[in-house]
Structure 1
Amino acid sequence: MGEFNRAEGVAIVTGAAGGMGSHCARLLGEDGWPELLLCDLDEARLGPVAEALRAKGAKVELLGGEITDPAFTERLLAKLGSRSIGAVIHTAGVSPAIFGDKDKLLEINLDATQAIVDAVKPRMAEGGAVVLFASMASYFPISPEADAAFEAPLPAGGTAELRHLVPNEGAAYTLSKRAVRAIAKREAKSFGDRKARIVSMSPGLIDTAMMAGEKNPQTEAMLAGAALTRLGRPEELAAAAVYLASPRAGFVTGCDLRVDGGALSSLGI
C-alpha cells in the first residue's frame, strides 16, 4: 500500500492463531506487508490464517512451538535467515482464567517476552517496530515492593527470582503485564539506536474466547462504569497494533497505548 505504510523486512505475529493475533495478521496483510511469519503454540491452527493471507498474495511462513522454550527464539531467527525484521506484534500470552499456574504464567507473559525482545532487537530494520501486548490490569497496583521489582530489569534468573513477591495467579498476571510496559519504556533507547521503535498496548475488556472465561461481577462492574460500556472488538485492537507497527506512528516509542474503552480513566487511573 505504499512506502509510507511499512518498513522493509518480515512482519512477525506471535499468538497469530488467537482472536487478537489472527486479526493483526490479517490487517498486516491488508496494510501491504509482503512477507509474514506467524507463530503460535500449534502450527496447525495457523493454517486458515495463513491461507487467507496467501490468497491475497502475501508470502507466509509458520512457526509452531512453546515460546518459553529456550530454543524458540533460535528457531524464529533461523526462519528469518538473513532477512531483517520490519515489525513484530507480540500478542502471545495467557490470563489467570485460562492458566492457573502462576509460575508458568510469569514465564509465558514475561520471561518469553523479554527473550523475544532480546532476540529481535539486533535484527530490526530501520523504521521497524515492536508492539508488545500488555493489559489494562497492568495499571492495578499490587504492593510497592512487587511493583518496583517488576518494573526493573529482569534479574539473571528471570521471574524465578521474583516469585516470592507474587501471591497468586491474578497478581502474576498484573505484575507480568506491568513488566511488559516497563520493557517497552526501558528498551526504547536501544531500539532507537537502531532507528527502530518499541511500544506496548494495554487492551481492556475485549470480546475474545479468553474474555469469556473472565466474566465475573468485577469485570461486569468495570464494563458498566467504563466510558464506552461495551466489550472491545479484536479488530479494533488489531487496527491500533498495526498502526503502531507502521511508519505512520514513526515518532511513537517507549510508551503504552491504552485501548480499554475508557475503563481505566473512569476508575481515576
Structure 2
Amino acid sequence: MGLATAKIVGRDHTVVLCDVRQDRLDDAAATLNDLGVDASVVNCDVTDSGAVAELLGAASKLGTVASVIHTAGVSPSMGPADYVMRTNAVGTVNVNEAFYATGGEGSVIVNVASMAAHMLPAEFVPTAQFPLALSDGDAFWDAMMAACDPIPEQARPGYAYALSKTFVKWYSQSQAERFNQRGLRIVSVSPGSVDTEMGRLEEQAGAGAMVADAAVPRWGKPEEMAELLAFCASEKAGYLTGTDILNDGGVIASMTERARVAAAG
C-alpha cells in the first residue's frame, strides 16, 4: 500500500521512503524512479524513536514536509504479540510525535489502522490506559501487554493486532485538537483485507472467510487503498481530521447486519 501510494503522491511531491528492509527499499525506489518519481530512501525502524526523528530530519532537509503516510505495520502471522504491539502501537506513537514536533502548518499525517479496530468489544479495550502513550511510555507498554495476558497464547498475536490498531484509531481521533493547534491534520484509514504480501499471510487465519462474506466479496486492491490514503494527505481533504475512514469492502457492515438478524431471529 505504501508503494502504491507513493506512485500517486510522487506525481507532484518529492517522496521519502522508509522501511526496515533495505532490499525492499531499493526495489521500491527503482520502481518509482522508472516512473519518473523523485524518491529517496531511509532505512528506519519505527520502533526506534531516535531513528524516526532522524527520518523526519532527513525529509525536512529536502523541503517542507507536506505529509506523512504511515503504512508501517505487521500482522498477526508475522510474529508474537509483543512484536506486533511494539511495531503497530509504539511505532505509531513514535512516528506521529516526531511529525507533531516537526510538521509545518498545513501538513498532515495519515495513519493506517485496520478493520480489526472496529471489531473488539469495548470491554476488551483498555481505552483508559491509552493516554499513557503520551505521558509514560513504559506504563503504556505494560498496560497494553497486560491486556494480552489473559488471551490464549495461540490467539495472542491476533488480539495484539486488533488492540494495537484500535489504539491507532483512538490516537488519530483523540489527538486532532492538539495537532490542530499547530496547524496539522491527523487522520486514520482502516483497510479491510488487501491483496498484498502481508494481507495474504492472513488468508488462512480468517481473512479469507471475511472476504467471502463481505458486501463486496473480493480482496481490496493496494491501488484502491492508495487512492484514499493519497486523498487524505492532499489539500483537497483540508477539512478532514480526527476521524477514521473504514475502507473494507463492507465487511464490518455485513458482519454487523448478520449479527443483528441472527439476534432478532
TM-score (norm 1): 0.85
SS of the residue aligned with 1:162?
A: helix
Structure 2 residue aligned with 1:121? 100
For 1:94 and 1:217, locate their aligned partners in 2 and report how far apart those are by CA, in whole Å. 14
For 2:221 and 2:193, locate their aligned partners in 1 and report how far apart those are by CA, in whole Å. 9
Which residues in structure 2 correspond to 1:149-160 (within 5 Å)?
A: 149=128, 151-154=130-133, 156=136, 157=138, 158-160=140-142
Structure 2 residue aligned with 1:161? 143
Counterpart residue identity of residue 109, structure 1: N
Structure 2 residue aligned with 1:24? 5
For 1:220 and 1:52, locate their aligned partners in 2 and report how far apart those are by CA, in whole Å. 29
Structure 2 residue aligned with 1:51? 30
Residue 252 in 1 paired to residue 254 in 2?
no
Query: When you count helix as a share of all residues, which structure comes out higher?
Result: 2
Query: When you count strand as a share of all residues, which structure comes out higher?
Result: 1
- After superposition, the Cα gap between the structure-2 partners of 1:65 and 1:217, relative to the gap in structure 1 and judged at 3 Å, is closer
Q: Is the 8 A contact 2:215 2:254 kept in 1?
A: yes
Q: Is the 8 A contact 1:128 1:246 kept in 2?
A: no
For 2:192 and 2:232, locate their aligned partners in 1 and report how far apart those are by CA, in whole Å. 17
Q: Is the 8 A contact 2:214 2:251 kept in 1?
A: yes
Residue 79 in 1 paired to residue 61 in 2?
no
Aligned residue pairs, count: 247
Which residues in structure 2 correspond to 1:81-100 (within 5 Å)?
A: 81-82=60-61, 83-99=63-79
For 2:205 and 2:25, locate their aligned partners in 1 and report how far apart those are by CA, in whole Å. 34
For 1:142 and 1:104, locate their aligned partners in 2 and report how far apart those are by CA, in whole Å. 23
Counterpart residue identity of residue 50, structure 1: A
Structure 1 residue aligned with 2:254? 266
1:141 to 120, 125, 132: 120
* Structural RMSD (CA): 2.0
Q: Is the 8 A contact 1:84 1:123 kept in 2?
A: no
1:235 to 223, 228, 245: 223
2:179 to 177, 191, 211: 191
Q: After the TM superposition, which segments of 4 or more aligned residues of structure 1 sit over 6 Å from their partners?
A: none
Q: Is the 8 A contact 1:40 1:46 kept in 2?
A: yes
For 1:164 and 1:49, locate their aligned partners in 2 and report how far apart those are by CA, in whole Å. 37
Q: CA-to-partner distance for each residue in 1:175-232, whole Å, 9 max, x for gaps?
A: 0000000111111112211222100000001111112221237433322221101100
SS of the residue aligned with 2:3?
A: helix
